[in-house]
A = this chain, B = another copy of it.
Amino acid sequence: MIKKVLVANRGEIAIRIIRSCREMGILTVAVYSESDRTSMHVRNADEAWFIGPSPSSESYLNIEKIIDTAKRSGADAIHPGYGFLSENAKFSQRCSDEGIIFIGPSPFAISNMGDKITARKHMIAAGVPVVPGTTEAIKSEEEALETIRQIGLPVMIKASAGGGGKGMRLVKDEANILGSIRAARSEAQTAFGDDAVYIEKYIESPHHIEFQILADKHGNTIHLFERECSVQRRHQKVIEETPSTIMTPEVREEMGKHAVAAAKAVNYYGAGTIEFIVDDNLNYFFLEMNTRLQVEHPITERVVGVDLVKEQINIANGEKLKLKQEELSQFGHAIECRIYAEDPHQNFMPSPGKIKHITEPLGLGVRHDGYVYEGYEIPIYYDPMISKLIVWAKTRNEAIARMKRALYAYKITGIKTSIPFLAKIMECDDFIKGNYNTHFIENNQDFLLQRQPCGKRCQDMALIAAYIHYKNKLDNASHGANGDSEKNAWKEFGRKKAVSRF
């Protein structure tokens, strides 16, 4: 039985894992880099161990250091979260070699699913539909040309070791085939140290739909239905929802069965996600498997009613799944918005900095998973995601209304965030109608980047507040007093007058 978990991560996911551990009575060990001494996960965990300099490669990705810390702290298990070492087969193997439980799948499952070409082969063998294309890394440019002629244009050229949009090229014209192959290989070489690429049929107006699966070490595998993840910007998910608006019960059941078959094909255990690409006619094809917890796992937790981190820990403990496929169902609708520290109006440039003030949205149907606090300085070294806003409602329309309400009420000052951009998505016709695919943001760019018109009245109020604030500061400065305490004087004065005026 796991008694102490080292959480090999930071940010909101580290805190989310610590919460479930605490509910299970399991002790937690945080690890932190130089710039994370004041991070919330360090404050929240039972223990905190320093693991190295700020760049991830020297801390959160440092396998030796993390294994060493697990041993020294007496942790009997490691939860990798997402990102960092979560899909590193070597790390999973090292844990196993050292007698530490890795809360995640076997090295075999990670490495087989990690390589796209190998994964494709497994899927074909398991009868899971894959996008028409090569099953081997292409050896020569002639072979590539031949394959493309068979599949027919348009095609995608993808890095075998790829991810995150790197080493990918869309080819629509015959004239660009060779150039694109060469570019993709060179990019793949730079990004992943491996120039293997493969070719797939390009699906026009695709939907990105994924299935959550859970599998124990006793051969029981179930799925927890789909997540619609088509709202993407540069191949990064922005908003996810479940159920998908385009899904039918029949297709859901069939895709669920294929998702389970995909996991079984690599003797998978743990929590995992099978990503599918789906066309407008609900033809679906295996895209890849994420052999870890997803950022967007909370929407599944909400509509299915499970705690996926607890399920992961139970599986790692060797327990049998208590959930039965036939007893699971989706209740209501959940949407997740990822809140990034970035400026949508400056080409989504990251916006690290110091949090001055937060007003968190709360109330019925709202879950907020974050990690920043007032006075916290977001480091420049890591992912710009600062929190996730998850809402649930009985219907999709109500969920959208609730998300709007929550986004408007959510104020983080000191940095720029994607909140206004996300609010515009909630107001966008295509999104409201559920009529969208992965081109949604591109297609609606003008609308989404429009600033909310407000008119003179609202501007005037902003001007007046700025005037009073500035004047007050000047007045205080001229009285030689410190700004803060005098601001309170203004407030107190105001209050007392307010009381006496009636």
Residues of A within 8 A of B (CB): 15-16, 19-20, 22-25, 34-35, 37-38, 44, 50, 52-53, 298, 301, 305-307, 331-332, 359-360, 362-370, 373, 393-394, 398, 401-402, 404-405, 408-409, 482, 484-485, 495, 498-499, 502
Contact = CB atoms under 8 A, between A and B. Distances in A.
B360 A331 contact: no
A369 B363 contact: yes
A367 B364 contact: yes
Given A38-B495, A305-B331, A305-B332, A368 B362 contact: yes
Given A331-B305, A502-B34, A23 B402 contact: yes
A1 to B, nearest CB: 16
Nearest to A402: B23
B363 A16 contact: yes
A502 B53 contact: yes
B301 A364 contact: yes
A401 B23 contact: yes
A373 B357 CA distance: 12
22 contacts: A19-B363, A19-B364, A22-B408, A23-B398, A34-B498, A34-B499, A34-B502, A35-B499, A37-B495, A38-B495, A50-B502, A52-B502, A298-B364, A305-B331, A305-B332, A307-B364, A307-B394, A307-B398, A362-B368, A363-B367, A364-B367, A482-B484
A379 to B, nearest CB: 11
Contacts of A19: 363-364, 405
A37 B498 CA distance: 8
A428 to B, nearest CB: 17
Contacts of A369: 362-364
Given A22-B405, A34-B502, A38-B495, 8 more contacts: A22-B408, A23-B398, A35-B499, A44-B409, A52-B502, A306-B394, A360-B360, A360-B362
A409 B373 CA distance: 14
A372 to B, nearest CB: 12
Nearest to A501: B34
Nearest to A370: B362
Contact of A23 (B23, B367, B405): B405
A394 B37 CA distance: 35
A66 B24 CA distance: 50
A404 to B, nearest CB: 8
Contacts of A16: 363-364
A20 to B, nearest CB: 7
Contact of A482 (B35, B360, B485): B485
A28 to B, nearest CB: 12
